[in-house]
Structure 1
Amino acid sequence: MAMRFLPLTDYLQVSRASSTLARNENGVIASIGANQPVFEFDGDGRALGLRIEGASANLLRHSCDFTHAMWEKSSGVTVQPNAGTAPDGSNTATQIDFADGAANLYQRVDNLASGTVHAFAIWMRAVSGTADITLGGVNGPSQHAVTLGETWQRVGFAEVASSTSRYPKISTVLSGAGASVLVWNAQLEASPVASSDMVSNGIPAARNGDDVMLDLTTGWFKPGGGTLFFDVCLPAAWQGIWRVMQLYSASLNDDHLDLGYDSAANQLRISLRKGGQQIVTQSLYGSLNPGTGNRLAIAFDDDEIAVATINGVLTSPGGFALPRNFSHLRIGSYGGASGFLNGYVRGLSYWPGRLNDARLLDLCAGGAA
């Protein structure tokens, strides 16, 4: 018998005070308005899922205008604006021609947090054939070799800034061979991994975080028992504690059922609070995989909670009564303020009852649709 899960897409409520950029099903990077959910696709038009990101900023100025004086260049480098179609569909790609030798193009960035990991990312492609390019400069003379083809790639690296002023740059220092490339939107963030594009024009560009909540007042949610299933795709790197799912009354300081992930311990953690008191706090041993999908299910009834991954099922000790006053369900962040998933959620679904452990395992293994 099929497990008829209720898809929850129609119940999503997304708050984000700014617009954002995302790749659509046609492979073009387009603007998504404030307070609109972001359903993103890869370069082949395959759905990645609902994107949930925290607030961030592109520390580079004039991120698409490589002719601006803030982008300094060595001899042997020429810059031609509006030379081709950019990833956003506009004719704003810039062609950079490097003569033979260690030529480079760079921008000075001040006020970096020394000792903090920064991620540099830029869209690039070879004008014809292939091109060997070096990216680096956040931490002095770093060298990151990139081989480009004739299709757009978003390439980059992450490393610790060793001082407060650095020069993210594009060069041919490793190959020493001349090259012609198209580029669009360079980005530098204080983050272990690059997030979605933010185009700056004169001042650093900023993006607000996604606060994703589901409306529990429309009758689909059954107090006291249920199963929630979702497939989360994590970033390639993360740091801190991020939120997976929270059911709560007024706030997480009150009655709640909270599932989160601790990157330092590499563990899922579940917490139950009732009447202002901590009832259950446990960890799921078994890591999640960065940069790829991870199926998770959380099932609950009046006296038990179960969390399942492909590694197994963790159940809480019995003897408590699950609160029935939950009125908020958030996915991937808490109130748009902390613990952002910085990844994708797919297959977000609900079953009005506590499925048994065998079904939870089957679901997480992909054997139940």
Structure 2
Amino acid sequence: MSSTTQSLNSAIILPETRSGAPLEGWPASPKKLYTFDPSKSTWINRTPVTHAPTYPVPIMSLAVATWNVDFMAAYEKSRLKSALDLLQALVTPLLVPCIVLIQEMHDNCFNTLLGHSFVREWYDVTDVSSYSWENFTSNYGTVTLVPRVLAENVVSVFRTKFRGSKMGREALFVDLAVPTEARAANLTDPTGSKQEAQNEALKILRIANVHLESLRGSSDAARVRQLASVASFLSASKIHAGLVGGDMNPIAPSDPGLPTRLGLLDAWVECHAPPTNVSPEERKEKRQAVEDDGFISRGGEAYDDPAGHTWGYQPTNRFPPRRMDKVLFVGGLKAEKIEKIGVGLKVVPETGDDEEEEEEEEEAQEMERSPVWVSDHYGLLARFQVQPT
């Protein structure tokens, strides 16, 4: 057995440590991947999870959707269903597989998620209850939906705690095998030394799902440590490309430019930043106060792009709108397109979606239901080319 196959079979690929010092987010906790079994009408564990795939699908391009679906607002089940309905409408026409990263998934919404026909037919999921979250006592967390067409590419699923997080935050990782061109050309022969040589050529595409520490104060330094931890996992050896999406909460002076300092590219910047050959006057017009959010453009200039704001409008509040949600990447990926989703999206809640409402059902039935925001965050939908390994 080759060393690569052994590593894939026996352990999660971890960042290198300096002098054995523990990493932020250490240790990595292996998790399962679940698939829907229509014959049993239930979700079952897809095994094995950590393995060297025999028939990994060539991944030339892929899409990634990320969305904080707001666990705090009422009618969380109706709101999640509406979000999934929109994702279905957006993802179904795509000609590439789309990985979905969900943050602030309420722990009482798993039946809504797992019962949605789109999820059952198209996806495997990393979680079927909150018990698989590292902070399983929390009533919200992260879930990643892996396209079923990529199920044979899944090498590992794992979570890492963010040490010292006062909010129980963690990172959720999914590793996908990316065959080299040589391997992709020989997928039909899984026997003998040829298969052994092909295993040697496997590279990993690592996808992370995060909700970084909220608020100010000690959370400012925590976010720096948390994103640095994720960046180290995305840049580990044998990782061909790494991507992290989610709610980054960039609300402190230390947050602008942090991805760049950690060696991460920003998909919104790559796709929407102004060209570097514009005049200083034109560039100045593009600039906003770095304190509002800020990011580093391809020309090294820090500015804020209101078109990229994903929070602060649904509803408006005393805090300024910000580009809270981001898709960052490193290595063999090229951002082709990124857009906001769920802008202005509202839903009329279903009866019985809120416990307090159930207690006042008769009164609620007499009142006309008003639409509510699906989330206080917009989502993002990004598309990438996977560079040859």
More helix, by proportion: 2
TM range, smaller chain: under 0.3
Q: Larger strand proportion, structure 1 or 2? A: 1
Instruction: Give me the TM-score of the superposition, normalised by structure 2.
Output: 0.22
- Under a length normalisation based on structure 1, what TM-score does the superposition of the two structures give? 0.22
